[in-house]
Structure 1
Amino acid sequence: MSLGLKYKNDEKIIEERIVNGVPYLVYPMLEQTGVVKHGFTTRLGGVSKGYCATMNISTTRGDDPRDVEENKRRLAEAIGVRPEDMTFTHQTHTVNVAVVEEEDRGKRFMETDGMVTNVPGICLVTFYADCVPLYLVDPVRKVIGLSHSGWRGTVNRMGRVTLEKMHEVYGTDPGDVVAAIGPSICQDCYEVSEDVILEFQKDFRKEDWDDLYYRKENGKYQLNLWRANEIIFQEAGVKKEHIAVTNVCTHCNPEILFSHRTTGDKRGNLSALLALK
């Protein structure tokens, strides 16, 4: 059964799945590692009401806590994890990456936009409504990372910072890592002002600028966060053939995915989930 998502191209990068009435998205490339369970939520399949309808597990959107708990239960059952193992970030557009140990199971990390762990069963959870989810799986050392990267996180190379933390703590070799850039706002939908572009010009090579943005007649720019994060991964040592770049835009799919550009603060959050088996 198709969810009716609009894709930017016909590549089979993402697979739609519905389990017990809960739709979510998966990356076959991550599944093929054989070491993780993962998913990316839609706004469907839950019990939340109003502007959070229906699948929202974020506690920062003004949602009914009872609905959030029921949604967590449904989502955990669909993906194959336990609600009590879900471990969360409270994101503030930093490049702070937490190391999640056994005693952190179920915790919320404040002022944190990324997490890494080697503990089986702990389910890392991060939140989105246009920003970029970054999934990282090291099938050799059995280590995972999950990070949130908006334009600020991207300029500050959140993907590289997360990889460096995996290497520092667990010995991960970036050449072994399989990475996915998750559903987020596409270049066609992401208009930014010149001050944002100036930040990218300072931090990215000039030869990459044409891939990253173009200027419009109104003086604004269209920015490609998908390509920017792919460049960051490759420069950090992840092999191009090990990177799955999304072809699903949050803003292009307002009936299925939450988007800040579409509805502002009147929305729930999408969730990325990643756990070692």
Structure 2
Amino acid sequence: MPFVEINGLEFFKFDLLGDEVVQAVFTRKGGVSPMPWDSLNLGGTVGDSRENVIENRRRIFEALGIEVTSIFDVWQIHSDMVLYSDKPRPLDHPHEKADAIVTNNPSVTLLMRFADCVPILLFDPVHRAIGLIHAGWKGTVQKITSKTVQFMQESFQSKPADILAGIGPSIGVDHYIIKEDVAREVAETFGNKVGEVLQAANGDIHFDLWRANEILLREVGVKSIQIAQQCTACDLKRWFSHRAEQGKTGRFAALIKLRPS
């Protein structure tokens, strides 16, 4: 499996995205937070101390050899909002609200936080642009993934066929049970492909977020896609899972940054 360990921290790395970007989806290992956020918690609104989160953030940037002052992150709200930034967010400035962020500036590190929702990393090696998406069920049915690709087309002249996409660690279909009202929204979005993303088992409805976001990517022309095949609810020693831990857990970080050309 494509896991890397540096300074006691462990992260997943997509082979597909290559070496032109710095990219990582960090596990929960190697931080300073106590239970139930043990230990590399990057979530600032889950009850952990601010000091712990800041130290954990420092550690992940140090492990990758990049400056924490390069960060651009947002307040994630389960929307279909996409933001472009050509500069970092000053650490003492408030967050803007969005669930997808893009840049073409090598001085900017895109970062988002997860605990079951899908991290999706995008890289256009031709026009040298990157994107990072937070796709829970709400973002998925609002097609935030395809909207981010379209945003990159408009902003950077990216061609979807050139874009490389990594669908990261998140809750797998076996553990992701949804209610009938959510299933109806899924059916409205995916139409005749709904059978590929919804499964029935023991009277429950399961939603396959990995396949759903793969479909959205392919529908807008993205061809090169790698799925991590890492279920957060299956491996609590490695990942935070909001569902499997009944909400008493932390958030792991995914980030991507262009290397200077």
TM-score, normalised via structure 2 length? 0.94
Given that 1:105 and 1:122 are in contact with CA atoms closer than 8 Å, whether structure 2 keeps it comes out as: no
Post-superposition CA distance 1:101-151 (Å, at most 9, x none) = 126465654321110000103111111110011110000000000010001
For 2:182, what is the secondary structure of its paired residue?
A: helix
1:205-220 superposed matches below 5 A:
205-206=191-192, 208-218=193-203, 220=204
Matched residue type, 1:234: R
**Corresponding residue for residue 176 of structure 1:** 162
Structure 1 unaligned residues grouped into runs of 5+: 1-13
**Corresponding residue for residue 6 of structure 2:** 19
**Corresponding residue for residue 97 of structure 1:** 82
Given that 2:69 and 2:88 are in contact with CA atoms closer than 8 Å, whether structure 1 keeps it comes out as: no
1:1-277 superposed matches below 5 A:
14-30=1-17, 32=18, 34-102=19-87, 104=89, 106=91, 109-206=95-192, 208-218=193-203, 220-239=204-223, 242-277=224-259
Change (3 A) 1:162 1:143: same
Given that 1:88 and 1:108 are in contact with CA atoms closer than 8 Å, whether structure 2 keeps it comes out as: no
Given that 1:174 and 1:238 are in contact with CA atoms closer than 8 Å, whether structure 2 keeps it comes out as: yes
For 1:238, what is the secondary structure of its paired residue?
A: coil
Name the one with the larger helix percent: 1
State the 1:99 CA deviation: 0.6
State the 1:231 CA deviation: 0.4
Structure 2 unaligned residues grouped into runs of 5+: none
Cα distance in 2 between the residues matched to 1:191 and 1:67: 32
Given that 2:70 and 2:88 are in contact with CA atoms closer than 8 Å, whether structure 1 keeps it comes out as: no
For 2:243, what is the secondary structure of its paired residue?
A: helix
Given that 1:48 and 1:67 are in contact with CA atoms closer than 8 Å, whether structure 2 keeps it comes out as: yes
State the 1:202 CA deviation: 1.1
Given that 1:257 and 1:270 are in contact with CA atoms closer than 8 Å, whether structure 2 keeps it comes out as: yes
Cα distance in 1 between the residues matched to 2:101 and 2:127: 16
Given that 2:232 and 2:239 are in contact with CA atoms closer than 8 Å, whether structure 1 keeps it comes out as: yes
Matched residue type, 2:3: E
RMSD, matched Cα: 1.4
Cα distance in 2 between the residues matched to 1:115 and 1:265: 25
Post-superposition CA distance 1:198-245 (Å, at most 9, x none) = 111111131x22211122342x20111100000000001101xx1001
